[in-house]
Amino acid sequence: MFDRSVSAARAAPACSPSIERFDRVDCVARLVRAVFRCEMSNRFVCVLSATLILLLLSWTAAAAQKKQHNSASAQARYAGSENCQACHDELYASFQKAAHERLLHNARVDENGCEACHGPGQDHVDNNGDRSKIVTFSDMPSKAVRERCRQCHQVSADKPHVAKGVGCLDCHSVHHALQTKALLILGSDRLCQKCHTH
């Protein structure tokens, strides 16, 4: 006698982590159809097999994405925060006293220290501190600053300050904060009174 569960399992697609999203959706749909074609007595085995295939698919896709991110980071030339300190000692000292100091201990090179915000700095170092070779915030539009900050911080676009065009650097500074808790550029009362005068 022909066992439908075996034929259904054989009909399940071979899913690759490198396939496009729409192909993955089709792959999942075919897996679901294969499970429903299984005999009731073997449905548990089919469901378990399909679940394992889906877990493997998502794990390998995530691993491939991480590998791609790491290879892009490896291509960028990072100098290390100790090289930044050689020329920017005051800024480095203020950075060490603030909440962002924990970035100095991050193992990922693209999320470590100064370069977590300013980007790869080796070209900046090699070109005698050429400002065009590093991300600087002083001349950056507030929307671009917000996007940069969003890499780590949750900044919702529906917040009143964001909606009114108030930028992150209008209130906060990593290197020149007077209040270390929220990295505020002034005491909270004085800062708020710059715009709110009731």
Q: What is the pLDDT of residues 62-111, one digit of tens each?
A: 776 666 655 555 567 999 999 999 999 999 988 888 888 888 888 888 88
Q: Can you list the alpha helix ranges (DSSP code H) found in 79-176?
A: 81-87, 89-97, 115-118, 122-126, 142-149, 160-163
Confidence of residue 116 (pLDDT cuts 50, 70, 90): very high
User: What CA–CA distance (Å, rounded) separates 171 from 191?
Assistant: 7
Q: How confident is the model at residue 124 (pLDDT cuts 50, 70, 90)?
A: very high
Identify the sign of the CA torsion 108, 109, 115, 120: negative
* Spatial separation of the C-alpha atoms in residues 194 and 46, rounded to whole Å: 65
Q: Which pLDDT value is given to residue 194?
A: 85
Which residue is it, tokens 């990072």? 78
Sign of CA dihedral 166, 117, 97, 85: negative
What sign does the dihedral 96-106-129-179 (CA atoms) show? negative
Q: What is the mean pLDDT of residues 136-155?
A: 89
- How far is 181 from 171, CA to CA, in rounded Å? 13
Spatial contact of 172 and 184, defined as CB atoms under 8 Å apart: yes
The yes-or-no verdict on residue 166 having pLDDT over 50 is yes
Q: Which residue has the higher pLDDT, 118 or 109?
A: 118
| Model confidence pLDDT, tens digit, residues 12-58 | 444 444 444 446 566 666 766 776 676 666 767 777 777 877 777 77
- Name residues whose C-beta falls within 8 Å of residue 77's C-beta, 6 or more positions apart in sequence: 120, 121, 122, 123
Does pTM top 0.95 for this prediction?
no
List pLDDT tens digits, range 169-191: 999 988 888 887 788 998 888 88
How far is the C-alpha of 144 from the C-alpha of 6, rounded, in Å? 55
Q: What is the pLDDT of residue 161?
A: 86
Mean pLDDT in residue range 136-164:
86
What is the pLDDT at residue 118? Answer: 93
Task: With a cut of 50, say whether residue 157 has pLDDT above it.
Answer: yes
Cα dist. 89→105, 129, 181 in Å?
18, 14, 22
CA–CA dist 56, 17 (Å, integer): 9
Query: Residue 57 has what pLDDT?
Result: 75
Instruction: Output DSSP code: residue 154.
Output: -
